[in-house]
A = this chain, B = another copy of it.
Amino acid sequence: MDYQTILNEIKTEVSPLLNEGKVADYIPALADVDPEQFAMTITLFDGKEYSVGCSDTLFSIQSISKVFTFTMALKLYRKELYKRIGREPSGNPFNSLVQLEYENGKPRNPFINAGAINVTDSLISFYKNDKITYEEILKFIQAISKDNSIKSCDEVASSEMEHGYRNLALANLMKSFNNLDNESVNVVKTYFKHCAIEMNTKMLSRSMMYLANNGTDPITKLEYITPSQSKRINAVMLTCGHYDASGDFAYRVGLPGKSGVGGGIVAVVPNIMGISVWSPRLNKQGNSLVGTKALELFTTKTGLSIF
């Protein structure tokens, strides 16, 4: 069965679920999205791309951006990065301060909020300036997605900032443990800015190529990171990519992936393809309900699990 047929089948099978779950509503800019949309794209190493649904519609990538900033920080700092951030699953809701306090301000992994804020802080320390840092993040995302039109949504970013007291608390707590270099407010602003970047499933699926191919874009042959770093990012996505449902995602889908509260998910079939899926309504753990189901159907139909 060809991939297009499989995607079409998936769209049919998930459509009865499109009214389940709940759109992220903590900021108006996210709450206002049409909730019953669905899109899915896969991209192969020869550049072939298969899509279904509204795969040209832009949405807020939110926590998916953490994969990109983690990639940049791992490239810059290598093992040094783990002095400030761990790589263990958190076993707790994604924004919990409890664990951060018990573990002396060292976030468990780069994909919980505290960890991603810390990664952003490490990038600001390298690029010396939060504006330049954001530009470098954007440039990197445009490069791996092969699309220079990608940009952040100012409305979402500033709306986040107005409601982002918990993230400020996380940043201040890390700062109280001397595990944040720059001013909390600037770090959190930059973090919200890259979370507010908007992409569609085509762009996101394309952006996963380097992680599917050991760090090197299989089409342009550009090497972004080493094979070892690429495998390790995939490992962190598998164990920590979906907050407190990471185990469930590994169990049901069986692929390294990362979700965002905007309803997007990226995933990687090592050596074969990049995938992205989008549907705004979230399950209880904060991951796209239909998106997770679509990926589960995909690995069931194709047998493309890593296990």
Shortest Cβ distance from A121 into chain B, in angstroms?
13
Complex Cα spacing A101 to B166, Å? 10
Is A247 touching B251 in the complex (CB atoms < 8 A)?
no
Indicate whether A279 reaches chain B with its CB closer than 8 angstroms.
no
A91 touches which of B108, B168, B228, B230 (Cβ 8 Å): B108
Shortest Cβ distance from A307 into chain B, in angstroms?
4
Q: By the criterion of a CB under 8 Å from any partner CB, how many residues of chain A are at the interface?
A: 50
Nearest CB to that of A231 among chain B residues?
A: B307
Is B91 touching A97 in the complex (CB atoms < 8 A)?
no
Given A165-B184, A246-B89, answer yes or no on A305-B176 (Cβ-Cβ < 8 Å).
no
Indicate whether A205 reaches chain B with its CB closer than 8 angstroms.
no
Complex Cα spacing A300 to B232, Å? 12
Shortest Cβ distance from A111 into chain B, in angstroms?
10
Q: Which of A228, A239, A300 has the most CB of B within 10 A?
A: A239
Indicate whether A90 reaches chain B with its CB closer than 8 angstroms.
yes
- Bitwise, A236-259 to B at CB < 8 A (1) or not (0) is 101110001111101110101000
Complex Cα spacing A235 to B270, Å? 16
A173 touches which of B165, B184, B245, B306 (Cβ 8 Å): B165
Given A101-B96, A165-B176, answer yes or no on A247-B86 (Cβ-Cβ < 8 Å).
yes
Q: Can you add 7 more A-B contacts, CB < 8 Å, to A87-B247, A88-B245?
A: A91-B108, A97-B97, A98-B98, A168-B168, A231-B305, A239-B246, A240-B247
Shortest Cβ distance from A76 into chain B, in angstroms?
18
Indicate whether A219 reaches chain B with its CB closer than 8 angstroms.
no
